[in-house]
Amino acid sequence: MKKTINLSWYIALAFALVLPWLFPNDYTRHLLVMAMLAAVTVSSLNLIHGMTGQLSLGHAAFYGIGAYTSALLVMRLGVPFWLAFLGAIALGGLTGLLVGLPVLHLRGHFFAVATLGFGEIINLVLTNSVGLTRGPMGLPGIPAPKAIGPLDFTNRVIYYYLVVLVLAIVVVISLRIQDSKFGRALLAIKADDVAASAMGINVFYFRVLAFVISTGVAGAAGSLYAHYALFISPITFSTTDSVNLVVMLLVGGTGSVPGAVTGAVLLTFLSEWLRQVREYQMVIYGLLVLGVIIFVPGGMAGLAAKWLPALERRLKGGKRGDVAPSQR
Amino acid sequence: MTSPLLNVDGLSKHFGGIRAVDALSLQVMAGEIFGLIGPNGSGKTTLFNLITGIYRPTGGKVTFKEQDVTGWKPHRMVAAGMARTFQNLRLFGQATVYQNVLLGAHRLAGYTLLDALLHTRRWAKVEREIAAHAEHWLEQYGLTAVRHEVASSLPQGMQRKVEIVRALSAHPTLLCLDEPAAGLNPTETQELMDFILGIRSAGHTVFLIEHDMKLVKGICDRIAVLQFGQKLAEGDFATVSGHPAVIEAYLGRRFKRAKSH
């Protein structure tokens, strides 16, 4: 059996661990944290969109639910961060279940429309329940997680490592799902749900399961964001942000676990870097994304799948014969 | 007399005013190859979709292994021991032959999500078992050489075979084949006939829809003829092909009169 977690993942992890030391300034380190947070959220979107083909256009809302749940639990009820973090996962998953149950047995685009509507509703609720969330004024003064021994989470690098740890867990979960009957069933559903059901796959159950895991992970990312930014407001969890997550996944490569991470990191840095061109930032960003979607339809993962085998061949001394026909 | 493996009793499916299947009854006995024939649009595939759970019947009852399975979802029917193929091949085209057959064995993979996430011993054992199981099926039906080919790249005849092997890997008691010979040349059809006979010898009951009379005549123990969603005749090939209503349905009224003179 081939190993689920191969050498390139360990290399990527090692690289992620040394990154903050290569950029010893606060600004870049802040971007690194944001990139890793985006990677967790985009990975969670990949669990539903990449694996089952169902498009969630309200994923930022689940991220928001996680952020507000965690922040409010800590601030209003004095719950320790780690418990609040679990609470954010639970509530994210629970809302995913409640949204998924009535919609996921429908075929076609109902799910995308329903999640889009749900995202808007959540945003309105966050904006208007001023008593609980302070509405558009936002929620300031969220405490960082309490230090564990020498691990002071107000330190950017330490927090970065916390996010990388969570990302690593999410990646392992994604890869292990992919490599089991669950991943195979989800891919079958994505390709042809009628044929999948004729294989004995309970299409509805698997879709709901994937969505609950996905929204639970989004909740985790939201919690990590809240206790890093220390201030949250509804603007961060709007439909625009949901769409941006979809774009990150598209650029990285829908359905690919490394693609989701790559897309998130790449676009986080790209959009920051484009600040240099001021008012043209979004124009150029949009054009670049459009270019990738048109010219590299499989995203970065598709590109890698195309070029890596050729590279491997060259490295191994150009033996052409030993490549399986499926890789042509 | 033993009770039938599959008992369809007064089954109906109406689409608005159209009675695609109309109070139809038939029995499939364990161990036989049962053929369903009829003109295009006579309701054969609709009947298959009713039996395998893709459609919900408007009325009537389906009993499988002496259990009322009326209105069961497809995945429950597979669990109960019924697998099927489709008229227009429904292979997972981007996946390899091996992956397709592995998916067929989905219901045999008895582990939980937690097993998969933690890579427990049970996960490893079951994954090894179903992989070996898939390889076994591929070998038994001569597909080992193409196991890593992408399914959609294979010739039509081979794809049909892959689809049947995929259905077989779910260990069905009853295998439903919807026009397995469609699009096959005579040589491929001959191979298919031997293939289906082999499946029956391996202990599976086969229920098939077919237009190819050579195949139907060659391998079916009993045949039912459908027209306008109703059963015209049932019996062995000689009985059915000599039945006046069948001759009329297939060849028209004038032929029937000419023959009876």
pLDDT at res. B261:
46
pLDDT at res. A317:
62
- Distance from the A10 Cα atom to the nearest Cα atom in chain B, whole angstroms: 18
A171 close to A9: Cβ distance less than 8 angstroms = yes
pLDDT > 70? residue A1? no
* Phi-psi group of A239: left, alpha or beta (phi > 0 → left; psi -120 to 50 → alpha; rest → beta): alpha
A194 with B90: Cβ contact below 8 A: yes
Q: Which residue has the higher pLDDT, A326 or B53?
A: B53
pLDDT > 50? residue A328? no
pLDDT at res. A320:
46
Identify all chain A residues contacting B149, using CB atoms and an 8 Å cutoff. 325-326
Cα–Cα dist B221/B206, whole Å:
10
Residue B203 CB neighbours (<10 A): 10
pLDDT > 60? residue B71? yes
**Torsion A103-A109-A112-A117 (CA) sign:** negative
Average pLDDT value for chain A: 86
pLDDT tens profile B209-233 = 998 888 888 899 999 988 888 888 8
- Please state the rounded mean pLDDT for residues A104-121: 87
A192 with B92: Cβ contact below 8 A: yes
For chain A, what percent of residues have pLDDT higher than 90?
35
Token pair for residue B55? 């459609």
pLDDT > 50? residue B244? yes
Residue A307 CB neighbours (<10 A): 10
Task: Please report which confidence band the pLDDT of residue B43 belongs to, taking 50, 70 and 90 as the band edges.
Answer: confident
Task: Please report which confidence band the pLDDT of residue A3 belongs to, taking 50, 70 and 90 as the band edges.
Answer: low
- Please state the rounded mean pLDDT for residues B136-158: 86
For A100, the 3-state DSSP assignment is helix
Best of B49, B51, B75, B163 to substitute, by most chain A Cβ atoms within 10 angstroms, is B75
- Please state the rounded mean pLDDT for residues A83-104: 93
- Please state the rounded mean pLDDT for residues B132-156: 86
Return the amino acid letter for B17: G
**Among B95, B113, B131, beta carbon nearest to A182:** B113
Cα–Cα dist A88/A219, whole Å:
5
- First vs last C-alpha separation in chain B: 40
Cα–Cα dist A169/A8, whole Å:
16
Cα–Cα dist A319/A268, whole Å:
39
For chain A, what percent of residues have pLDDT higher than 70?
95
Instruction: Give the chain B residue nearest A195 (alpha carbons).
Output: B90
Task: Please report which confidence band the pLDDT of residue B256 belongs to, taking 50, 70 and 90 as the band edges.
Answer: low
pLDDT > 60? residue A244? yes
pLDDT > 50? residue A175? yes
**Among A1, A194, A199, beta carbon nearest to B106:** A199
- Please state the rounded mean pLDDT for residues B100-118: 86
Angle formed by the axes of helices A7-22 and A26-45, nearest 10°: 150
pLDDT > 50? residue A31? yes
ipTM of this complex prediction, to 2 decimal places: 0.83
pLDDT > 90? residue A21? no
**Among B73, B90, B106, beta carbon nearest to A181:** B106
Instruction: Give the chain A residue nearest B168 (alpha carbons).
Output: A199
pLDDT at res. A145:
83
pLDDT at res. A276:
82
Bridge partners of residue B67, in order along the sequence = B64
pLDDT > 80? residue B114? yes
Best of B51, B96, B113, B120 to substitute, by most chain A Cβ atoms within 10 angstroms, is B113
**Torsion A93-A98-A99-A102 (CA) sign:** positive
Angle, vertex CA A96, rays to CA A90 and CA A98, nearest 5: 105
Identify all chain A residues contacting B166, using CB atoms and an 8 Å cutoff. 199
pLDDT at res. A118:
92
Identify all chain A residues contacting B102, using CB atoms and an 8 Å cutoff. 184
- Distance from the B261 Cα atom to the nearest Cα atom in chain A, whole angstroms: 49
3-state secondary structure chain B: CCCCCEEEEEEEEEECCEEEEEEEEEEECCCCEEEEECCCCCCHHHHHHHHCCCCCCCEEEEEECCEECCCCCHHHHHHHCEEECCCCCCCCCCCEHHHHHHHHHHHHCCCCHHHHHHCCHHHHHHHHHHHHHHHHHHHHCCCHHHCCCEHHHCCHHHHHHHHHHHHHCCCCCEEEEECCCCCCCHHHHHHHHHHHHHHHHCCCEEEEECCCHHHHHHHCCEEEEEECCEEEEEECHHHHHCCHHHHHHHHCHHHHHHHHC
DSSP string, A35-79: HHHHHHHHHHHIIIIIHH----TTHHHHHHHHHHHHHHHHHHH--
Average pLDDT value for chain B: 86
pLDDT tens profile A285-322 = 888 888 888 888 888 888 888 887 777 777 766 444 44
**Among B75, B116, B131, beta carbon nearest to A180:** B116
Q: Is B14 exposed, middle or buried (0-12, 13-18, 19+ CB in 10 A)?
A: middle
Q: Which residue has the higher pLDDT, B35 or A152?
A: B35
Token pair for residue A245? 């997550």
- Please state the rounded mean pLDDT for residues A135-149: 83
Tokens 């800590």 sit on residue: A74
Query: In angstroms, how far is CA B82 from the centroid of its own chain?
Result: 9
A198 with B83: Cβ contact below 8 A: yes
pLDDT at res. B42:
86
pLDDT at res. A154:
77
pLDDT at res. B94:
84
Task: Note the pTM of the prediction, 2 decimals.
Answer: 0.86
Instruction: Give the chain B residue nearest A205 (alpha carbons).
Output: B75
Identify all chain B residues contacting A181, using CB atoms and an 8 Å cutoff. 106, 109, 111, 116, 130
pLDDT at res. A213:
95
Identify all chain B residues contacting A187, using CB atoms and an 8 Å cutoff. 92, 95
A135 close to A234: Cβ distance less than 8 angstroms = yes
B60 close to B144: Cβ distance less than 8 angstroms = no
Least confident piece of the model among A7-21, A136-150, A250-264, A312-326: A312-326
Cα–Cα dist A152/B196, whole Å:
69
